[in-house]
Structure 1
């Protein structure tokens, strides 16, 4: 209650006490007044506590609003992080697939390179055998012509020499064809190596990046 309300009550009690008279009634009035003062003090304390509680409540409400705003912001950041994580995971899987494809391609290139090496070695061996055979045939032909020179007349010697030269030309042509085939295989091998080198460089760059 307000002070004016308390004053009116005290006036009312005083008037009642005057009308009733006697010490007993004055004692009761004092007790009532004392109790009323305690109640008014309690009311004042409660009002202060209510103000404090209201102030604390307003502060907590502001803090709750701030926390909700921060929660919304953190939720947005968390969503962005999840999307970024999914994107990075996808890129990682794509990189693994590319790496697997590159490894398979390198393996295939190595197998092809090894196959070409074997073919070249085989061709060289075959060419060496043919050359040795050609040299033996040429030596035999020279020996035969030496022997024929003593058997045939000088008139037939130019024809025999021409025939030997034709045979020699044919053998040389065959050798040139074999050499051309060997050169072509060497170029193919070099081309396979060149195709493999950029892929190896790309793998090195990717490992450096990671």
Structure 2
């Protein structure tokens, strides 16, 4: 027999190591799958317990609802008897409602007429105050504002002149003897000698 070659043995060893690594990874994967399935089983068991509790609550609720349904049926019979008595009142109220409807119709017509009048007034106002006329209105307002400002400035100048003249008059009166004051004419603008 010939002894196997070293290279042949090494390649066989490598293949075995690769197979071992593959088996180890498959084992790890199977373990993780087993763990996840175990967790899923626990989750499902918890869900089963929860669903059983919910089922029990639903059964109790169903029993209560059946009792309430029977009670409701008795109430329906009682209400039917009461409804027979109420029909007469309903007919009486129907007449009153008809009268109220007629009154409301009259009031609505009055309101509509007032509304149409307001709409017409609004249209007239809208035609006066349109977006196209806004620049002209603003220019007119600016013009009036500038006129008022110039009038105000003129009045302030006149007021200043009057105050100045009054001050001069006071100074002049203090320096002149009392006899000559009566003979002097008024130095204020707008004063005339009689």
Using structure 1 for the length normalisation, give the TM-score: 0.36
Q: Which has the larger radius of gyration?
A: 1
Give the number of the structure with larger relative contact order, counting CA–CA contacts within 8 Å between residues 6 or more apart. 1
Q: Which has the higher helix share?
A: 1
Using structure 2 for the length normalisation, give the TM-score: 0.38
